Chain A
Amino acid sequence: MPISLTINGKPTTVDVPPEMPLLWVLRDVLNLKGTKYGCGISQCGACTVHLAGAPVRSCGIPISAASGMSITTIEGLSATGSHPVQKAWEQLDVAQCGYCQAGQIMTAVSLLRNKKNPTDADIDAAMQNICRCGTYNRIRDAIRLAARSAPAGATPARAPGDDLTGEE
């Protein structure tokens, strides 16, 4: 069944079973490998993407539920790593294996959209993604750095579903 949706700003139609999780459409149909599989039961957050502007676990979203909606993946945040959150992650050398970090970054971007200067409690509440390597200290520091380094309004507080593409 053809399903139309917008991926990283591009109108896209896929012909897949309606129950197929968004994660696997992104990875194996659209070849966007940045979104990762870790658990398949919405526990680990490695598959976090933005659906209509909100962070979701794409392994638990059937593609039919995303029909007509706008999706941003790590590839859509910025292709060159210029987003303030990506820059902070790179600068503070957050990653060890790196496998969870796309999901961590997508969750952090969403947090910073809602709270420009999140408290530790805000970070604890929002950042539910698992990092098996245990890079949480640097993730926390990178969120703070991104919050500081983004001039007011630059970490986009845009309308849900509007987080399209390209350089931010």
Chain B
Amino acid sequence: MADSLQTDRRSFLQVLAVVGGGVMFGIHARDAEAGELEPGAAPFAPNAFIRITSDNRITLIAKNPEEGQGVKQSLPMIICEELDADWSQITVEQALSDESKYGRQFAGGSLSTPMNYDNHRRLGAAARAMLVAAAAKTWNVPVGELTTVRAQVSHNASGRRATYGQLAATAATMPAPDLATVALKDPRTFRLLGKRVPGVDNRKIVTGKPLFGIDVVVPGMLHAVFEKSPVFGATVVSANLATIRRQPGVKHAFIVDGVGTALDGLMPGVAIVADTWYNAKTAREKLQVKWAEHPTAKQSTEWFAQTAKELSAKPADRVVRKDGDVDAAFAAATKVVEAEYFYPFISHATLEPQNCTAHFKDGKLEIWAPTQMPQPGRELVSRTMGIAPQDITIHLTRIGGGFGRRLKNDYMVEAAWIAREAGAPVKLLWTREDDMRHGHYRPAGFHFLKGAVDASGKIVAWKNRVVVEPYMRLGEFPGRYIANYLLETSTLAHGVPTGALRAPGSNGIAFAIQSFIDELAHAADKDPLQFRLDLLTPAMPPVQGDAFNAERMRGVLELVREKSGWGTRTPAKGHGLGVAFHFSHQGYFAEVVEASVGARGEVKVHRVWVAGDVGSQITNLSGAENQCQGSCIDGVSAALGQEITITDGRAVQGNFDSYPLLRMARAFPVEVHFKITDNPPTGMGEPALPPVIPALCNAIFAATGKRIRSLPIGDQLGYQNS
């Protein structure tokens, strides 16, 4: 999953081509769609994304799920820019899941911007061209004499003006321009993109309007809880269903046998359906289930560590990359450093627990889901329940935090199954404990690292053995930048469900790599930031599967050096500065953390500087800055205290009392700076996260001389950090 989302340049271009094709289909299907979307009310609907009524109301469709990453705002803004309407004139409507109309619809891999930026510009520009053509025809003047602004076409020579609404009916009769060749604005004339524009749902959020999956109400709806085995994937032997059925408000209680696997199927469990969620949950307190034996019950956090250590001493399963001769280089080196790095399973802990509402009626299924991946959800429900995909309607609700958890649709297939069994609309809501103990966790990882520097302080050898579920790729940094290099992996098969969590792979790899680079910088007695710039010089040509461009990374390192005052400013007594960089999701980020450790061992982050390069254009600056700030808070929160430990094949932590999330008192200012470069615009949901964790750990080292090699930091400094 994560690999398929970490799109390289080549497949990225292929994806764009596919999406472009989808959009063309939308253009050709315009008549049917206009009628379907808003009967009789929108005379001009040039494609599936734009509707303009005669009273100049402009509706733009937000195609992708909104999980807090801001795409319900930023994607329509791109259309609006080229359409030449004012943002205040726009109504944004969330699309249904319908890939025949909208192309691929998902929230993952920070791909909404790179996959849609260009085609959304073209959609807006095509509509504008048809409106201008309508004015030219109406007034019998050349197109070249017409200008547009604020959804109005003007002919300055004659003083004639018409709103888009007034032109809508005529515009609908104009030939649709070829999207591939339609004229686009010079970005220097943009009026909207790059500005800070508040989110389209803000008013509803601050007034408490129902927006999220958990808020869905369907007439006659019942409420469900679903108990699964604490040992991942164990089946039900028996349950005291008769007792449960006698509890107040309970309408149904039944066993679900399960279909497929934990990672992509319907898990076994016991469903309780009641008139209220409170009654379902209260009845569950009386539930007694006998679970079948399961092999995962033999696994534990200690077993992982011991097995990983054993595997590290055996030959690797896979050599990802090998350059030169590391053993000879180690033998000849001035200084050799060895270190073991570890990062744990962590939970997505979306604040809105997993939930879904489903209604099965007359062979058809209607679903309301906070999902990042509606189409795979439809396919999962279809094959699990034997319902044709076209008989499944999926409404996309706002998502109370995704972070990759809702790339999986386990809650969706559970709700659909339970609703069909119950014969009524059902809202399934997981408890927080269900959510934390039935995650698709960020995979834990072990890195066994060995590096060497020569007398001049240059890294001459690097060996990295990665154990558990490595996402390591051929182009993973610092591959190609060190002459003697070995990256190899051992896979530790286990039964804990894992999945993509915000900047998958990168969120752990960056910690190990950028911390170990810091160790080598200190071994070489070099400034850690300059050491990194030197390592990135000269830039190597890109390899297949990794577009990493060292010049862009040097650009953000230079920027963060300047903005943080690195090397020119003496931090306060006891404070340390740490730096790290990482390339993921096509984004280049370098970050500096200023931190101190108190007398009792408490970590305090004083400030973070972020320098990012995501190409030539920021769509919504407010959203982009918010993503950077949130990514840094998220990373530090995980680094300080978050860990899912496994005992007897089950997740130990169940709620925020044992799985701490950072709160206001430990929050810190985050300064965000973007370096605008002549590259295609890319996404902001993930790439700012990975560097902050090693930058923090490097800052702790600078402040205290203590090297953090295992996450979370927890009590390693003598104080329970969280």
Q: Do A and B bind each other?
A: yes
Contact A73 B664, beta carbon cutoff 8 Å: no
Question: Which residue from chain A places its CB closest to the CB of B207 in the assembled complex?
Answer: A81
Contact B657 A79, beta carbon cutoff 8 Å: no
Q: Interface residue count for A (Cβ, 8 Å)? A: 60
Q: Which of B30-38, B394-402, B442-450 contacts A (4 or more CB under 8 A)?
A: B394-402
**How far is the CB of A47 from the nearest CB of chain B, in Å?**
11
Which A93-122 residues sit within 8 Å CB-CB of chain B? 93, 95-102, 105
Set of chain B residues within 8 Å of A39, measured between Cβ atoms: 432, 655-656
Partner of B278, one of A28, A123, A128: A28
Task: Report Cα–Cα, A101/B626, bound state, in Å.
Answer: 15
Task: Report Cα–Cα, A138/B486, bound state, in Å.
Answer: 44
Task: Report Cα–Cα, A37/B623, bound state, in Å.
Answer: 25
Question: Nearest 7 pairs between A and B by C-beta?
Answer: A34-B208, A134-B633, A97-B68, A99-B400, A74-B208, A136-B667, A96-B68
Question: Which residue from chain B places its CB closest to the CB of A75 in the assembled complex?
Answer: B208
Q: Please encode chain B, from 618 to 645, with 1 for each CB lying within 8 Å of some chain A CB and 0 for all others.
A: 0000110011011111100100000000
Contact A93 B276, beta carbon cutoff 8 Å: no
Task: Report Cα–Cα, A131/B622, bound state, in Å.
Answer: 18
Task: Report Cα–Cα, A77/B205, bound state, in Å.
Answer: 13
Set of chain A residues within 8 Å of B69, measured between Cβ atoms: 96
Q: A33-B208, A92-B198 are in contact. List 19 more A-B contacts (CB 8 A).
A: A17-B248, A36-B400, A37-B353, A38-B432, A44-B656, A77-B207, A78-B207, A90-B202, A93-B626, A95-B201, A95-B205, A95-B206, A97-B67, A99-B401, A132-B349, A134-B633, A135-B629, A135-B630, A137-B629
Which B422-464 residues sit within 8 Å CB-CB of chain A? 429, 431-432
A161 within 8 Å of B (CB atoms): no
B217 within 8 Å of A (CB atoms): yes
Contact A46 B276, beta carbon cutoff 8 Å: no
Partner of A98, one of B68, B627, B633, B655: B68
Set of chain A residues within 8 Å of B196, measured between Cβ atoms: 93
Contact A41 B400, beta carbon cutoff 8 Å: no
B223 within 8 Å of A (CB atoms): yes
Contact A97 B401, beta carbon cutoff 8 Å: yes
Contact A31 B665, beta carbon cutoff 8 Å: no
**How far is the CB of A59 from the nearest CB of chain B, in Å?**
10
Set of chain A residues within 8 Å of B630, measured between Cβ atoms: 96, 133-135
B211 within 8 Å of A (CB atoms): yes
A125 within 8 Å of B (CB atoms): yes
Contact A43 B655, CB 8 Å, known A86-B207, A90-B198, A133-B630: yes
Question: Which residue from chain B places its CB closest to the CB of A136 in the assembled complex?
Answer: B667
Contact B626 A73, beta carbon cutoff 8 Å: no
B510 within 8 Å of A (CB atoms): no
Contact A96 B70, CB 8 Å, known A28-B278, A133-B630: yes
A54 within 8 Å of B (CB atoms): no
Task: Report Cα–Cα, A96/B627, bound state, in Å.
Answer: 8
Most-contacted residue by chain B among A21, A86, A96, A140 (CB, 10 A): A96
Contact B208 A32, beta carbon cutoff 8 Å: yes
B212 within 8 Å of A (CB atoms): yes
B210 within 8 Å of A (CB atoms): yes
Task: Report Cα–Cα, A72/B669, bound state, in Å.
Answer: 32
Partner of B208, one of A40, A73, A130: A73
Set of chain B residues within 8 Å of A135, measured between Cβ atoms: 626, 629-630
A15 within 8 Å of B (CB atoms): no
**How far is the CB of A107 from the nearest CB of chain B, in Å?**
10
Which A117-168 residues sit within 8 Å CB-CB of chain B? 123-125, 127-140
Main secondary structure of the interface of A (DSSP, over half): loop
**How far is the CB of A120 from the nearest CB of chain B, in Å?**
9
The size bracket of the interface on B is 35 or more
Set of chain B residues within 8 Å of A132, measured between Cβ atoms: 349-351, 401, 403, 634, 661
**How far is the CB of B542 from the nearest CB of chain A, in Å?**
32
Most-contacted residue by chain A among B202, B206, B248, B664 (CB, 10 A): B206
Main secondary structure of the interface of B (DSSP, over half): loop
**How far is the CB of A99 from the nearest CB of chain B, in Å?**
3
Partner of B353, one of A20, A33, A38, A81: A38
Task: Report Cα–Cα, A44/B350, bound state, in Å.
Answer: 12
Task: Report Cα–Cα, A166/B127, bound state, in Å.
Answer: 42
Set of chain B residues within 8 Å of A36, measured between Cβ atoms: 212, 214, 351-352, 400
Which B40-76 residues sit within 8 Å CB-CB of chain A? 67-70
B483 within 8 Å of A (CB atoms): no
A-B pairs with beta carbons under 8 Å apart, 22 shown:
A21-B278, A24-B278, A34-B209, A40-B655, A43-B655, A44-B351, A44-B656, A91-B198, A93-B202, A97-B67, A97-B68, A100-B351, A130-B351, A131-B351, A132-B349, A133-B68, A134-B667, A135-B626, A136-B664, A136-B667, A137-B667, A138-B626
A35 within 8 Å of B (CB atoms): yes
B600 within 8 Å of A (CB atoms): no
B277 within 8 Å of A (CB atoms): yes
Partner of A90, one of B203, B223, B277, B661: B203
Contact B207 A98, beta carbon cutoff 8 Å: no
Set of chain B residues within 8 Å of A43, measured between Cβ atoms: 655-657
B199 within 8 Å of A (CB atoms): yes
Partner of A75, one of B207, B429, B631: B207
Q: Please encode chain B, from 378 to 414, with 1 for each CB lying within 8 Å of some chain A CB and 0 for all others.
A: 0000000000000000000011111100000000000
A12 within 8 Å of B (CB atoms): no
Partner of B277, one of A28, A77, A96, A134: A28
A65 within 8 Å of B (CB atoms): no
Contact B68 A41, beta carbon cutoff 8 Å: no
Which B273-310 residues sit within 8 Å CB-CB of chain A? 276-278, 282
Set of chain B residues within 8 Å of A134, measured between Cβ atoms: 629-634, 637, 662, 667
Task: Report Cα–Cα, A31/B214, bound state, in Å.
Answer: 12
Contact A93 B208, beta carbon cutoff 8 Å: no
Set of chain B residues within 8 Å of A77, measured between Cβ atoms: 207-208
**How far is the CB of A147 from the nearest CB of chain B, in Å?**
16
Most-contacted residue by chain B among A37, A124, A135 (CB, 10 A): A37
**How far is the CB of A121 from the nearest CB of chain B, in Å?**
9
Task: Report Cα–Cα, A80/B212, bound state, in Å.
Answer: 19
Set of chain A residues within 8 Å of B431, measured between Cβ atoms: 40
Q: Please encode chain A, from 59 to 91, with 1 for each CB lying within 8 Å of some chain B CB and 0 for all others.
A: 000000000000001110111110000100111
Set of chain B residues within 8 Å of A123, measured between Cβ atoms: 664
Task: Report Cα–Cα, A44/B658, bound state, in Å.
Answer: 12
B257 within 8 Å of A (CB atoms): no
Contact B657 A41, beta carbon cutoff 8 Å: yes
**How far is the CB of B621 from the nearest CB of chain A, in Å?**
10
Partner of A20, one of B68, B198, B278, B661: B278
Partner of A41, one of B223, B632, B655: B655
Set of chain B residues within 8 Å of A96, measured between Cβ atoms: 68-70, 626-627, 630
**How far is the CB of A103 from the nearest CB of chain B, in Å?**
10
Task: Report Cα–Cα, A63/B350, bound state, in Å.
Answer: 27
Task: Report Cα–Cα, A33/B669, bound state, in Å.
Answer: 32
Set of chain B residues within 8 Å of A32, measured between Cβ atoms: 208
